[in-house]
Structure 1
Amino acid sequence: MDTTIPRRPSAARTRLIDTATRLFYEEGIHAVGVDRIIDEAEVTRATLYKQFGGKENLVLAYLRNEDEMLRAMFDQAGADVSDPDALVDAVIDGIAADIRQRHTRGCPFINAAAEYPDAAGPVRTLIDEHREWFRSTLEEVAAGAGLHHPSEVAASLVLLRDAALVGGYLDGEERVAPAFERTARAVIGGHRAA
């Protein structure tokens, strides 16, 4: 049995990730320089390089942080809702809430992918892993609710979420979030057992 107590990240590391998350999401990864992150996080250059070794590792930490938050939201929904049909509804409601409240400038993973075109690079590899987790999790939720063709349901919901996050940024959440909910529920309804 491992009795090692997990170490909490240092305050400086947390500030760097929080600052990078805000700036990268609001302004774009390549548009934000290391000096600005250092200044706003109130750390030294040495601290950034000691914690991350460079900007790309900070980008990876930012995306891992986003991934961990989304996974935690799904875990919490699964813990709070035991009925499989209600879990499907909770997932749709959660995505709609994300469009309205949190990711108001598009999907952080799609945004990052646009800035990192090398499909074999570490940033895109992490994005691919996140997207595969998201798709497979939606497929598990759909299968648990007894929906026909759960992989098709998952693929449709991923597509709808991608479009809604981008559309919410461009057209406003008040127009896009209800359209996402309506369309997602239609997809679900079309795959329910007769």
Structure 2
Amino acid sequence: MARSETGTRPSEARERLLVTASRIFYGEGIHSVGVDRIIAEAKVTRATFYRHFPGKEDLVLAYLQAADQAIRGQVDAAAAGGLPAPDALRAVAASIAQGIQSAGFRGCAFLNAVAEYPDPDHPVHQAVLAHRRWFLDTVSTLMAGIQQAEAEPAAQHFVMLRDGAMAAGCLFDRALICETFLRGVDGLIRTHAARRP
């Protein structure tokens, strides 16, 4: 395991708590899971839990931060390499489709979380909004590489296609949903490009 700048190893207990909580929160929901279960499954003491996370909300925020970083990494990897904007958008869409078809898929972690935290002032709700703003801004930037004038509405359309595919992927044939999503994204890109002055 890598050492930090201070020479100490990152806490294995914290990582176990976060991995355990992430699996359970994503698979079963957040409010339905108590701290005691996470402590038991992570095989740590209550004192260890509270040393790393002052409360359950801190653990929920760490879970969403980890999910955010993972998605940012996927999007950055898909959009990297100097691809033209249309190809970068198609690569982002392909990475989303791959996620939908992965084992244990249960929808968007952020949409799932915000359904449990509807208060717009709650830190969890704010974390979801921050993630979604980043994603919309990222797609808007890519859309602007095709055609600037209507980049934001096109990006909002992309996000709605993604949200629909993530929701439908929990209910219906995932392969068919992904094929429909990718076709929709391709049509959006072509339409957006055709409006170029």
CA displacement, residues 94-139 of structure 1 (integer Å, 9 cap, x when unaligned): 1111211167211110111111111111000000000000000000
Structure 1 stretch displaced more, 67-76 or 53-62:
67-76
Question: 1:35 corresponds to which residue?
Answer: 36
Question: 1:129 corresponds to which residue?
Answer: 130
TM-score (norm 1): 0.91
User: How far did residue 90 of structure 1 move?
Assistant: 0.6
Relative to structure 1, the CA distance from residue 107 to residue 31 in structure 2 (aligned partners, 3 Å threshold; closer, same or farther) is: same
CA distance in structure 2 between the aligned counterparts of 1:46 and 1:77, rounded to whole angstroms: 41
Q: Does the CA-based 8 Å contact 1:148-1:191 persist in structure 2?
A: no
User: How far did residue 81 of structure 1 move?
Assistant: 4.5
The number of aligned residues is 191
Question: 1:17 corresponds to which residue?
Answer: 18
Name the structure with the higher helix share.
Answer: 1
Q: Does the CA-based 8 Å contact 1:153-1:191 persist in structure 2?
A: yes
Relative to structure 1, the CA distance from residue 92 to residue 81 in structure 2 (aligned partners, 3 Å threshold; closer, same or farther) is: farther
- Matched to 1:96, the amino acid is A
Question: 2:150 corresponds to which residue?
Answer: 149
Question: 2:108 corresponds to which residue?
Answer: 107
Question: 1:165 corresponds to which residue?
Answer: 166
- Matched to 1:175, the amino acid is L
Q: What secondary structure is seen at the aligned counterpart in 1 of 2:31? A: coil
Q: What secondary structure is seen at the aligned counterpart in 1 of 2:194? A: coil
User: How far did residue 185 of structure 1 move?
Assistant: 1.1
Q: Does the CA-based 8 Å contact 2:79-2:89 persist in structure 1?
A: no
Question: 1:59 corresponds to which residue?
Answer: 60
The percent of aligned pairs where both chains have the same amino acid is 44
Question: 1:86 corresponds to which residue?
Answer: 87
Q: Does the CA-based 8 Å contact 1:16-1:48 persist in structure 2?
A: yes
Runs of 4+ with deviation above 6 angstroms: none
Q: Is 1:76 matched up with 2:77?
A: yes
Q: What secondary structure is seen at the aligned counterpart in 2 of 1:110? A: helix
CA displacement, residues 164-188 of structure 1 (integer Å, 9 cap, x when unaligned): 1111001131221111111111111
Structure 2: tracts of 5 or more residues without a match: none
CA displacement, residues 140-162 of structure 1 (integer Å, 9 cap, x when unaligned): 11112346511111101111111
Q: CA RMSD, aligned part only?
A: 1.9
- Matched to 1:106, the amino acid is G
Q: What secondary structure is seen at the aligned counterpart in 2 of 1:18? A: helix
Q: Does the CA-based 8 Å contact 1:104-1:165 persist in structure 2?
A: no
Structure 1 stretch displaced more, 71-80 or 88-97:
71-80
Q: What secondary structure is seen at the aligned counterpart in 1 of 2:83? A: coil
Question: 2:5 corresponds to which residue?
Answer: 5
CA distance in structure 2 between the aligned counterparts of 1:42 and 1:8, rounded to whole angstroms: 19
CA distance in structure 2 between the aligned counterparts of 1:175 and 1:192, rounded to whole angstroms: 26
Q: Does the CA-based 8 Å contact 1:147-1:192 persist in structure 2?
A: no
Q: Does the CA-based 8 Å contact 1:34-1:55 persist in structure 2?
A: yes
